[in-house]
Amino acid sequence: MTDHSKPGLTGHSLIQSYLKTLDGSPGVYRMLDAEARVLYVGKARNLRARVSSYARLSGHSARIARMISQTASMMFLTTKTETEALLLEQNLIKQLKPHFNVLLRDDKSFPSILVSRESRFPQIKKHRGGKTEKGSYYGPFASASAVNRTLNQLQRVFLLRNCSDAMFSSRTRPCLLYQIKRCAGPCAGLISEPDYNQLVADAERFLQGKSTTVQAKLAAAMAEAAEAMEYERAAALRDRIRALTQVQQVQGINPRGVPEADVIALHMEGGQACVQVFFIRANQNWGNRDFYPKTGAGAEEAEVLEAFLGQFYDNKEPPPLILLSHAIEDADLMTQLLSDRARRKVELAVPQRGEKAELVENAARNARESLARKMSESAAQTRLLELLAEAFDLDAPPRRIEIYDNSHIQGTNAVGGMVVAGPDGFLKSQYRKFNIKSAAGANSDDFGMMKEVLTRRFERLLKEDPDRQTEAWPDLLLIDGGAGQVSAVHSILEDLGVEDIAMIGVAKGVDRDLGKEEFHRSGRPPIALPHNAPVLYFIQRLRDEAHRWAIGAHRAKRAKSAMATPLDEVPGIGATRKRALLAHFGSAKAVSRAGLADLKAVEGISEAMAQTIVDFFSTNG
């Protein structure tokens, strides 16, 4: 890493001074301002040639000219290959979030369908996260609703179970799903293992795009049943064929000539960008999602799309074909990087005609319409933030509002919730939950819980960004409570040295009616807003979202607590071994009473692990 500060030099003259120390190696460069904040991270096939382009006095876009004028120092790191430079650039952008780089803000994983083979009778279910469970994965789907819709239809067609392995092993009678013809009832022995596995094979053929084969097979079976005068069986097969046809209709655009691809289209307008991604798998449309990357203070289409590709596929496996609306600058490097990640060839294409071009045009139309809606909503949101600043005498409309709430039932499973809002609406990727660790939760002490949440939140901010250089710092806090709560929070923040952040407490009025809220600020008298004021509805919406988030986190914690067993505390017992033990013995209590020989009989339990279990329960029994 090379970092030479040049006192007194900035802009073009500073950049020019670096040229004599650079050669034609590939690498990554950083441009920093006078405060040593990273303005921009870039890659180069030839560092000297790329940096010399910034040293020119003219010919730059307004964005690049601003970036050059603010540059007070540069840092360089050479790499062995150009692809390595691209990978390093993407990692640094994700880590540093420079102002002039394109940034993908929403980078969540996508759900898949898993045909789990942890049991002799495979389960079909929604899956998100790492592929750690034994089975076949199909995806990605654009959203949980797209997966749920497909799963619902697949159950009607293929009658596969979706109950957990623990529930499946404990049942002796079929559940309601069998009664409504959504499951074949393997738990009660109502279908043989070979016949059930045939259903699994048919479902997997469908998910692989071989729906025609499955449909023909069902039609032949229906005709055979009718000929044998097994009319009830024929009717059931007819219903399954109808359900299969409905699945195909719901999926909409199903391209014949594109078996597997991501279709990625970009639309830019007014300095904002929308990228629309369609997932095509097994010749089927598995949904679409829109993204709104930050454009790095005005990057062009090619740079926005290239940065999006690098960041989007950072934690996702790319398909064999990616169809793009615009060409990118370093397509060969991006192709190599994505191929390395997928461990197979990945092709980037910008189609001009035919079915592939129609797919891209459809995605581009969606991007254009989505951005228009987003800009309209953003204008309304901006006006609400301006009204909020006026109503509470803030220095400026807030860019980041953090809203806090707590949830518990008589001190049990206490959770604190934080939601975030700004000019772009709710920023759900920024939401956080805090499991209350102190005695405050057990004592139903709302002040104590708020103190723990805010202390943890701001101690982390102070550690990660003490100079407040990133957008992670809020400029307004909204809390649920009156004068006492506001005073307590003010003291907490004062102790942490961050008392300069504006804060509003929202408390119900004396009659507790919606719309009669009182608003409290430290050192000022409480105020009320007109019952029909837009900013009042806006604050209510913020508070309700925080309440919804906190309650959801509390319910999830309570559900997890209800499912907990002493086995969770045994060293070395993970989800797979826990399932095997419960399936074999029926309950955690039975496991705790089992002898060494019985434990060793369970699949996946070695003699050493069996001894660990015996020792644990003899010590903690």
Cross-strand bridge partners of residue 323: 263, 349
Fold of 401-561: Nucleotidyltransferase; domain 5 (3.30.420)
Higher pLDDT, 566 or 190: 190
**Does residue 357 have a pLDDT over 60?**
yes
pLDDT mean over 11-26: 92
Place of tokens 């901010």: 461
Instruction: Classify residue 296 by its DSSP letter.
Output: T
pLDDT of residue 74: 94
Strand partners, 43: 28
pLDDT over threshold 80, residue 237: no
> What's the pLDDT score for residue 183?
92
Residue among 335, 359, 361 at smallest CA distance from 348: 335
Average of per-residue pLDDT across 4-14: 74
- Cβ count near 455 (within 10 Å): 16
> What pLDDT is attached to residue 247?
58
Residue 404 is predicted with a pLDDT of 93
pLDDT at site 287 = 87
Indicate the pLDDT class of residue 101, thresholds 50, 70 and 90: very high
Q: How confident is the model at residue 588, as a pLDDT?
A: 79
The CATH code of the domain at 261-372 is 3.30.420.340
User: Is the CB of residue 162 less than 8 Å from the CB of residue 90?
Assistant: no
Q: What is the pLDDT of residue 22?
A: 93
Q: Both tokens of residue 166?
A: 């623990």
| Greater model confidence, 418 or 570 | 418
Q: What is the mean pLDDT of residues 394-405?
A: 93
- Residue 157 has a pLDDT of 81
pLDDT of res. 220: 81
Give me the pLDDT at residue 27, please.
96
Q: What is the pTM of this model?
A: 0.74
Q: Does the structure show a pLDDT above 70 at 480?
A: yes
Task: Tell me whether strands 347-349 and 432-435 are parallel, antiparallel or unpaired.
Answer: unpaired
Report the chain's mean pLDDT, rounded to a whole number.
87
> What does the pLDDT read at residue 414?
82
What is the mean pLDDT of the segment spanning 85-94? 93
Are 325 and 265 a contacting pair, CB within 8 Å?
yes
Per-domain residue ranges of the chain: 2-96, 112-250, 261-372, 401-561, 566-620
Residue 360 has pLDDT above 90, yes or no: yes
DSSP-derived 3-state class of residue 540: helix
- Is the omega angle on the peptide bond into residue 194 within 30 degrees of 0, that is, cis? no
At residue 324, the pLDDT reads: 98
Q: Using the predicted structure, report yes or no on whether residue 620 has a pLDDT greater than 90.
A: no
How far is CA 414 from each of CA 48, 557, 571, rounded to the nearest angstrom? 57, 9, 26
**400 Cβ neighbours under 8 A, 6+ residues apart:** 420, 421, 422, 471, 472, 473, 474, 475, 476
Q: pLDDT digit string (tens) for 121-141?
A: 999 999 988 888 899 999 898
Fold agreement (401-561, 566-620): no
Taking only the tens place, the pLDDT of each residue in 490-534 is 888 988 888 889 999 998 765 545 557 889 998 889 999 988 889
pLDDT for residue 442? 58
Predicted pLDDT of residue 412 = 64
Phi and psi based region of residue 129 (left: phi greater than 0; alpha: psi -120 to 50; beta: remaining): left
Mean pLDDT on 423-427: 89
Look at 310-324, 392-406, 459-473 and tell me which has the smallest mean pLDDT.
459-473
Specify the range with the lowest mean pLDDT, choosing from 62-66, 190-194, 197-201, 512-516: 512-516
Can you give the pLDDT at residue 241? 74
| CATH architecture for the domain at 2-96 | 3-Layer(aba) Sandwich (3.40)
If you count them, how many residues does the chain have? Answer: 621
Q: Residue 265: is its pLDDT beyond 90?
A: yes
Say which residues have a Cβ less than 8 Å from residue 180's Cβ, sequence separation at least 6: none
| N- to C-terminal Cα separation, the chain | 57
Per residue in 147-181, pLDDT (tens digit) is: 888 888 788 888 999 988 888 888 888 888 998 88
Fold of 566-620: DNA polymerase; domain 1 (1.10.150)
